[in-house]
């Protein structure tokens, strides 16, 4: 019985991930989750005590299975803008393999929803953004060691915003080469800025 329960919970998280990823947190109702997962309201509340707790489990899986493997190249010691380029291309390749236009980014979709987020969701988004910005800032500093702290932080925020914009664009652009051109342009502009810094 414990093995069956574990399998059911795994199925619930995986199915909820697809739902949240496609539609965001606020736009997903409990009825949507029941339909998407095939698990009753009672079953969802029994396993996760509600939508917020289920989203937390979904977000943890997304971070572990999607974000961390992709972003590891940027977080590696000595990573430069080449690592950022590899990260962007990896994500575009994944989107291309699963079909473009695609679902974009779970975090980007969630943070751009018009409805107010719960505190737990806001904290998850903030932590995710901080992690990516820190990785980008490290790569920028490695690329241009003489850059001031303020400039490195500002450029890392620009790169984070640009990357998230790219994933949003992947929800409406069906051409992977067009996305790669956008990514290459972002990095080219950043390299030019660093060269004149």
140 token code pair? 């920028």
d(CA 157, CA 190): 12
Judge whether residue 42 has pLDDT over 50.
Answer: yes
Under 8 Å between Cβ of 60 and 124: no
Among left, alpha and beta (phi > 0; psi -120 to 50; other), residue 117 is beta
Q: Looking at residue 3, what is its pLDDT?
A: 41
Q: Which residues contact 66 (CB under 8 A, 6 or more apart)?
A: 106
pLDDT higher for 188 or 113?
A: 188
Range 114-142 average pLDDT? 89
Element (H, E) at 185: helix 176-195
- In tens, the pLDDT along 43-76 reads 999 999 889 999 999 999 999 999 999 999 999 9
Please report the sign of the dihedral spanned by the C-alpha atoms of residue 106, residue 45, residue 57, residue 35.
Answer: negative
Q: Looking at residue 36, what is its pLDDT?
A: 94
Q: What is the rounded average pLDDT for all residues in the chain? A: 91
- pTM listed for this prediction: 0.89
């Amino acid at each position: 019985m414990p093995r069956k329960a574990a399998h059911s919970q795994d199925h619930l998280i995986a199915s909820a991930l697809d739902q949240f990823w496609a539609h965001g947190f606020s736009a997903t109702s409990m009825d949507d989750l029941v339909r998407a997962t095939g698990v009753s309201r009672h079953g969802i509340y029994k396993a996760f005590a509600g939508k917020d707790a289920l989203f937390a489990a979904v977000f943890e899986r997304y971070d572990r299975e999607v974000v961390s493997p992709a972003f590891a190249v940027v977080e590696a010691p000595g990573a430069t803008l080449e690592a950022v380029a590899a990260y962007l291309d990896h994500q575009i390749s994944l989107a291309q393999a699963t079909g473009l236009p695609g679902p974009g980014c779970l975090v980007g979709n969630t943070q751009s929803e018009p409805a107010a987020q719960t505190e737990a969701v806001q904290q998850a988004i903030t932590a995710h953004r901080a992690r990516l910005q820190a990785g980008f800032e490290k790569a920028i500093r490695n690329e241009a060691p003489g850059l001031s702290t303020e400039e490195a932080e500002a450029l890392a925020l620009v790169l984070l915003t640009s990357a998230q914009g790219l994933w949003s664009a992947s929800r409406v652009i069906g051409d992977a080469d067009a996305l790669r051109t956008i990514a290459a342009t972002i990095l080219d502009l950043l390299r030019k800025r660093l060269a004149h810094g």
